[in-house]
Amino acid sequence: MEQGSLKRQLGLWTATALVVGEVIAVGIFLTPAGMAKSLGSPLWLLLVWVLMGAMALCGALCYAELAARYPEAGGGYVYLREAYGERVAFLYGWMSFLVMDPGITAALAVGMASYLGFVVPLSTPGLKLVAIACILALAAINILGVRAGGWLMRWLTVLKLGLLLLILLWGFGLRLGDWSNFVPFAAQRAHSEPLVGALAGALIAAFFSFGGWWDLSKLAGEVKEPARNLPRAMIYGVVIVTLVYILTSAVFMYLIPVERVTSGETFAAQAGEILFGGAGGRVFALVVVVSVLGSLAGVIMAAPRVYYAMARDGVFLPFAAEVNTRFRTPARAIAMQAVLASVLAALGNFKEIVAYFVFVVVLFLALTVAAVFVLRRRQQGKGAEAVPGYRLFGYPFTPLIFLALIAVLLIMLLGSNIRNSLLGVLVVALGLPIYQLLYGKRKALV
């Protein structure tokens, strides 16, 4: 291997598939139940999905401009570096590599294996082995080429959307539910939670159901015609996800009255039984496996580009910047993520660890969108050559709307668990002395 550059091989539809495939995971099968029960109103459930879809779209438009400015691997790391400097960007990469990326990868893999266990009985060690094998197999495919990873991503997304469409057609077409489940449409039903508290919980759940739309930007160095295709893929992807969430929630409410909801898992099992009879649980489990597998493939495809970008900047292990000369992929960066995720999957304590860093992830997301203001201000007076090929619609209101909603979300997260939030911030901040010790003096030596 030797250092080289990544090749632009991903087209518009593969990029769109990555957004849709990564975002739609197990959440769509679990979160609508809790949201519907707490809100007690189909109208409020619809409004929550629309609001979160609009919020994600505002954020995607901002990321699209940033990606058009800097069409290179690394996504948020690159934008934070350009707006706020290397230290802030390093903290983002430090958190991503050590905690979030391997933790989310392990969580998805173990979750997929647990649903597979409903179809094929497996012991606890067997479930862990399946999860690890899946991580390693997907990593190997992505090492073999971004085109191979993109092909897999496209077809997993097509299969996922096809299965969700089948559920919609099967449920509504065969009239397996009852339209009276939507009545009353606007008013809250008896035994619902107070509206303000219910909305707060539903907004948080919906936000994380949309999580991951920003990961396409990490692959900006491998997307063809990035100024054209990255904005379109992000916009198309968010719109598709929003429609899928609204329609899927609708068919679930059509099939099962809110009064019968006890938990997300039992809700999914009830829906499966109504749709597919006695084998409904297993059939539904397979649908979830396909859905989570697509999300897992997206994370494994996108995340290592951050470590690759950091290494090229000289703030990470140097060999992570090496590109395989045959496959033109950051093979060692991909392998590092896969190994760390496999270790976490084997240990099984990743969920608690990841929970500490949710607040920080949202904070970095806000900082990245705010980078639009910082970079536009710097651009003033530099001439037309500083203008990116794509400029977001509705500036400055688009990023302001996103940041206002993010601020509300941060307050709710801080209020719900201030200890975990502050501990996560502290652990990320420990990256500053690490940066200073390992990389802070290198510029002075140049």
Q: Is residue 46 part of a domain?
A: yes
From its phi and psi, is residue 218 left (phi > 0), alpha (psi between -120 and 50) or beta?
alpha
User: Tell me: the pLDDT tens digits for 338-393?
Assistant: 999 999 999 876 677 777 888 999 999 999 999 999 999 987 766 545 556 678 88
Whether the CA torsion 280, 282, 285, 286 is positive or negative: it is: negative
Query: What angle is formed at CA 222 by the lines to CA 4 and CA 303, rounded to 5 degrees?
Result: 90
pLDDT per residue as tens, the chain (446 positions): 344 588 999 999 999 999 999 999 888 888 888 898 899 999 999 999 999 999 999 999 999 999 989 999 999 999 999 999 999 999 999 999 988 999 999 999 998 998 898 888 889 899 999 999 999 999 999 999 999 999 999 999 999 999 999 999 999 999 999 999 999 999 888 888 898 889 988 998 899 899 999 999 999 999 999 989 999 999 999 999 999 999 999 999 999 888 887 777 777 778 888 888 878 778 888 888 999 999 999 999 999 999 999 999 999 999 999 999 889 999 999 999 999 999 999 987 667 777 788 899 999 999 999 999 999 998 776 654 555 667 888 999 999 999 999 999 999 888 888 888 898 899 899 999 999 998 877 654 44
DSSP state of 322: E
Question: How many domains in the chain?
Answer: 1
In the 3-class helix/strand/coil scheme, how is 69-122 assigned residue by residue? HCCCCCCHHHHHHHHHCHHHHHHHHHHHHHHHHHHHHHHHHHHHHHHHHHHCCC
Single out the residue of 292, 20, 332 nearest to residue 134, CA to CA: 292
Q: Is residue 397 part of a domain?
A: yes
User: Tell me: the pLDDT tens digits for 172-202?
Assistant: 999 999 999 999 999 888 888 898 889 988 9
How far apart (Å, rounded) are the C-alpha atoms in residues 308 and 317?
9
Can you give the pTM of this predicted structure? 0.92
Query: What angle is formed at CA 326 by the lines to CA 322 and CA 327, rounded to 5 degrees?
Result: 80
How far apart (Å, rounded) are the C-alpha atoms in residues 99 and 104?
8
Q: Give the type of residue at 415.
A: G
Enclosing domain of residue 205 = 2-9+11-440
Residue 352 burial (CB count, 10 A): 9
How far apart (Å, rounded) are the C-alpha atoms in residues 138 and 338?
9
Q: Is residue 446 part of a domain?
A: no
How far apart (Å, rounded) are the C-alpha atoms in residues 292 and 109?
8
Q: Is residue 445 part of a domain?
A: no
CATH of the domain at 404: 1.20.1740.10
Single out the residue of 55, 46, 48, 49 nearest to residue 397, CA to CA: 55
How far apart (Å, rounded) are the C-alpha atoms in residues 446 and 319?
20
* Residue 35, φ and ψ in degrees, nearest 5: -65, -45
Strand partners, 116: none
Residue 420, helix vs strand vs coil: helix
pLDDT of the residue at 48:
95
CA 168 remoteness from chain centre = 24
pLDDT of the residue at 445:
41
